[in-house]
Amino acid sequence: MGLKQTTFSVFSACAALTALLALAVILLGAYVRLSDAGLGCPDWPGCYGRLGVPSDQDAIAQANRAFPERPVETAKAWKEMAHRYLASALGLAIVLLALGAWRSRGRLPLGLPGVLVALVIFQGLLGMWTVTLRVMPTVVTAHLAGGFATLALLWWLALGQSGFRLADPAPALRRLRPWVWGGLVLVCMQVLLGGWTSSNYAALACTEFPTCYGGLWWPPTDFGEAFVLWRGTGIDYEFGVLGSEARTAIHLTHRLGALVVLLYVGALSLVILRRVRTGLAFGLGIAVVAALCLQLGLGVANILGHLPLAVAVAHNGGGALLVVVLVSLLHFLSPSRLPSGQAAGTDTTTASRNSS
């Protein structure tokens, strides 16, 4: 293995590990949000004016005097600070990736690491605004979207330098690339709806499945209030400010979004599995089906179990997994960019099956 290929392999491994760290930040952020610890520290970037959580009695008394509207809850404060520490580690890792790409003298891509640095800086601002604007749903949802975007871009960066694909897919599969893009867009929209549902405390607006409550498929809703993106500052959004009909409208929209994703991505997966029977494309098709079924099952379990914390956090992880699998499929169907400079061949097994 030459020096250039070694550089690609090391960079790809570092990017993959950073993507894993991004996934951990997403899961921990979901845990913080779902355990109502998003305002465990009422200031930013410290916690009650400290780098750590006030622990002794004097420090707690001082913090309570400084923030009488938000007295210290040690357990919640540590959850929030753990998320901040981990997010800071992710930011540092992304900066180091960008520095590594810059120092490689053109052997590694500079554009995507630069975008990731800008994105993680903006994520830090969103984290600050989440606290200072008291978990405003628009900011919280944007923060979640930024986390998913960071994960997806890191994974794409890792795949691009890994030699992930050793042969080009057959033309019949490559023609599905726009449809995979469509599936990824739908999943991302559903992630946004999920963030909006969670940040507006609408996850339990419907307590039955497949009906909503009382055997009703479509109870009274208020869509006019449900999707107001800006309500001004100075409002404490913790535990929500919407009425029950607006929360029901949000919940039902999220359910309908899930149905659209299930039908579209499920049909896309079946098309892929019908066109190939072996190889990487087949494995990715199976992975999409598995991730889709897992996510659907977790969503139903959240409703029937009245939002168990572990299941709700796993639901966020399932969404991230679905995004990662679709990004992998999209990369597989993209024009060849093998880092070693070798020309990609043709997946002859796939081609022969599609010629019949």
Catalytic residues: 80
Residue 277, classed as helix, strand or coil, is coil
Alpha helices, H only, the chain: 3-34, 57-66, 74-103, 111-132, 137-160, 171-174, 177-199, 223-226, 244-275, 279-304, 309-332, 348-355
Measured distance CA(58)–CA(105) in Å, rounded: 54
Alpha carbon distance 254, 296 (integer Å): 12
| Token pair listed for 10 | 């090391």
| Cα gap 120→254, rounded to integer Å | 27
**Cis check: omega of the bond before 210, within 30 degrees of 0:** yes
In whole angstroms, give the CA distance from residue 28 to residue 31.
5
Q: How far is Cα 330 from Cα 284, in angstroms, rounded to an integer?
A: 10
Q: Measured in whole angstroms, how far is the alpha carbon of residue 8 from the centre of its chain? A: 26
Q: In terms of C-beta distances under 8 Å and separation of at least 24 residues, what long-range contacts does 105-112 make, across chains too?
A: 107/4, 107/7, 107/8, 108/7, 108/8, 108/11, 108/161, 109/157, 109/160, 109/161, 112/153, 112/156, 112/157, 112/160
How many whole angstroms separate alpha carbon 30 and alpha carbon 332? 30
* 3-state SS class at 75: helix
